[in-house]
Amino acid sequence: MRGQMCWLSQLGANGEKILHLQTAPNQPWQPYTAFRQYAVPDYHVPGGSKGWATYQKLMKAGWALVPSARAQEFAIANTAARC
């Protein structure tokens, strides 16, 4: 199955960006570590991006990269719909 990926801050707007995945359009964005079936171990590079190895694997598998701003809009709209 192909999904979508984006880089979102882990803790607010100024937090470190890590890879997030969405396996279906109606599903929430979640950190790549929540998907053991897709995640691969991170490279041991000081200051390296969390999820870069997973990103490379999923890009080769045909997953789409979504701009962070578009993913954040989805998250805000999804939260508002629940209220």
Regarding beta strands 30-31 and 4-9, do their DSSP bridges make them parallel or antiparallel, or are they unpaired?
A: unpaired
Q: pLDDT tens across 21-72, in order?
A: 999 988 999 999 999 999 999 999 988 899 999 999 999 999 999 998 888 7
What pLDDT is stored for residue 44 in this prediction?
92
How far is Cα 43 from Cα 64, in angstroms, rounded to an integer? Answer: 22
What pLDDT is stored for residue 70 in this prediction?
81
Instruction: Kindly report the pTM of this predicted structure.
Output: 0.82
The answer, yes or no, to whether residue 17 has pLDDT greater than 70, is yes
What pLDDT is stored for residue 26 in this prediction?
86
CA angle 18-20-25, nearest 5°? 160
**CA distances, 4 to each of 7, 14, 23, 59 (Å):** 11, 23, 6, 9
